């Protein structure tokens, strides 16, 4: 319990006393800080627990940790002390020349920067903003070598402090206090090696292909459908408005064959009509995949009614046995997940690209547009599914058209 921690608090306090006895300046800072808290009324000196008023209740002893707040001048002195040790190795000759009140040699990397020694023996550089309102450290930055570990630590510090900024911003922040030689090379290396500057996205493993794409079946037995558009038809007369139509794209899961249908609007009845034309020209599919469009959801409900009608005992004598035992399973991809429909999205992209390159913004009649779509469909079903060979004796390349002819 905290109330029984008097022994721990006393041991911590004795450690602080021993530390303060060794460092007079630290003791002065500590006394000033504690006196400030007493003056503000944040705490009160008591001789013992007996002097605490009874209204306070339980007396708790908290282990005490000293906290010294350094001011800006002390931080600058610490930076100068670190920078003062750098020239002993990197700028030894320059330091020797400056102590003798000489200019640095022409072979020095600081020859164009006009270096000088300040009163603390730190190599600083003359700038051109001495008449500005900036502080002394900005007007006369400390010279640093680019390959010294301290320079790299300073560059990493300013790069992180400025929210992993780019090379220009990082170098600007550094030059407010320091001037590293070949600073651009230094910050370029720091920014390039920073994982936040060029983050590597996590690449998840690719998922398994759907079963419908890996099991052999007849063309369009498992298909998907999507819409693209709108496109505009040629007006019937001069004062009439352009009619807006859409394109229904059916894609076979296995053979990648494409079937295009021109539809007048986005209603469910229009899609049912296009779907019936697709079945008449191709075959009755077993499964249909689509997104969660309202037109597709309405079509699913109507197809379910058609399926119930086909399986009704009263109608089995009228329709063929094959159609009575064949139903259509409609599957929707998850909402707001177009990546699940990459197969038909690619077909939509190809169809729109071919249509744009063929007619551009030209408006055609409904019959002419249907002809153009049929030709685009033929072209898409003639694209190669396997790599082309340079051997002239090889057979023709395999295309989706070979499967449904």
Q: Report DSSP letters for 31-53, one per residue.
A: HHHHHHHHHTTS----SSGGGS-
The tokens describing 2, both together, are: 């905290």
Residue 153 has pLDDT above 80, yes or no: yes
The SS3 assignment for 274 reads helix
Which pLDDT value is given to residue 310?
43
Strands 287-290 and 222-233: parallel
E strand or H helix at 330: strand 329-332
pLDDT band at 47 (very low <50, low <70, confident <90, very high): low
Residue 268: burial class (beta carbons within 10 Å; 0-12, 13-18, 19+): middle
Lowest-confidence region among 211-220, 279-288, 304-313, 393-402: 304-313
The tokens describing 158, both together, are: 């300013």
Residue 309 has pLDDT above 50, yes or no: no
Q: Work out the average pLDDT over 224-248.
A: 84
Percentage of the chain lying above the pLDDT 90 cut: 9
Which pLDDT value is given to residue 324?
39
Residue 325 has pLDDT above 50, yes or no: no
Strands 258-263 and 287-290: unpaired
Neighbours of 377 (CB within 10 A): 20
Q: What CATH number matches the domain at 214-380, 3.30.420.10, 3.40.1160.10, 3.40.50.300, 3.30.70.100? A: 3.30.420.10
Do 209 and 340 contact (CB within 8 A), yes or no? no
Residue 306 has pLDDT above 80, yes or no: no
Lowest-confidence region among 28-42, 288-302, 367-381: 288-302
User: What are the extents of the domains in the chain?
Assistant: 2-56, 72-193, 214-380
Residues 6+ apart with CB under 8 A from 212: 222, 253, 254, 287
Which pLDDT value is given to residue 65?
57
Which pLDDT value is given to residue 49?
55
Do 397 and 388 contact (CB within 8 A), yes or no? yes
pLDDT band at 364 (very low <50, low <70, confident <90, very high): confident
When comparing pLDDT for 60 and 96, which is higher?
Answer: 96
Report the helix count and the strand count for the chain, using DSSP H and E. Answer: 14, 9
The tokens describing 21, both together, are: 């006895």
Residue 185 has pLDDT above 90, yes or no: yes
Q: Work out the average pLDDT over 122-128.
A: 85
Q: What is the CA radius of gyration of the chain?
A: 41
Q: Work out the average pLDDT over 129-143.
A: 85
């Amino acid at each position: 319990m905290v109330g029984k921690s008097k022994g721990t608090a006393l041991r911590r306090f004795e450690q602080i006393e021993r530390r303060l006895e060794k460092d007079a300046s630290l003791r002065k800072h500590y006394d000033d800080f504690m006196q400030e808290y007493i003056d503000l009324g944040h705490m009160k000196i008591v001789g013992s627990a007996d002097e605490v008023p009874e209204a306070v209740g339980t007396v708790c002893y908290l282990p005490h940790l000293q906290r010294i707040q350094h001011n800006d001048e002390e931080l600058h002195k610490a930076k100068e002390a670190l920078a003062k040790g750098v020239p002993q190795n990197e700028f030894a000759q320059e330091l020797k020349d400056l102590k003798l009140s000489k200019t640095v040699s022409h072979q020095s990397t600081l020859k164009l920067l006009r270096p000088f020694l300040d009163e603390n023996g730190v190599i600083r550089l003359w700038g051109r903003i001495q008449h500005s309102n900036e502080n002394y450290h900005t007007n006369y930055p400390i010279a640093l070598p680019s390959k010294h570990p301290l320079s790299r630590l300073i560059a990493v510090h300013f790069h992180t402090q400025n929210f992993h900024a780019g090379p220009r911003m990082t170098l600007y922040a550094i030059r407010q206090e320091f001037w590293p030689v070949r600073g651009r090379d230094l910050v370029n290396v720091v920014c390039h090696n920073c994982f936040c500057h060029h983050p590597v996205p996590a690449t998840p493993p690719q998922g398994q292909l759907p079963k419908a794409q890996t099991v052999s079946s007849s063309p369009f037995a498992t298909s998907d459908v999507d819409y693209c558009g709108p496109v505009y038809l040629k007006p019937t007369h001069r004062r009439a408005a352009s009619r807006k139509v859409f394109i229904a794209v059916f894609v076979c899961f296995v053979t990648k064959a494409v079937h295009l249908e021109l539809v007048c609007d986005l209603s469910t009845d229009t899609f049912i009509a296009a779907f019936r034309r697709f079945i008449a020209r191709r075959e009755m599919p077993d499964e249909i995949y689509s997104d969660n469009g309202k037109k597709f959801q309405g079509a699913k409900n109507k197809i379910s009614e058609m399926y119930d009608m086909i399986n009704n005992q009263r109608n089995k004598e009228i329709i063929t046995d094959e159609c009575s035992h064949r139903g259509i399973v409609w599957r929707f991809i998850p909402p707001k997940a177009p990546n699940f429909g990459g197969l038909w999205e690619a077909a939509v992209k190809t169809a729109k690209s071919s249509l744009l390159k063929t007619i551009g913004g030209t408006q055609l009649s409904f019959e002419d547009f249907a002809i153009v779509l049929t030709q685009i469909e033929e072209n898409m079903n003639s694209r190669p599914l396997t790599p082309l060979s340079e051997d002239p004796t090889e057979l023709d390349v395999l295309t989706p058209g070979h499967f449904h002819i």
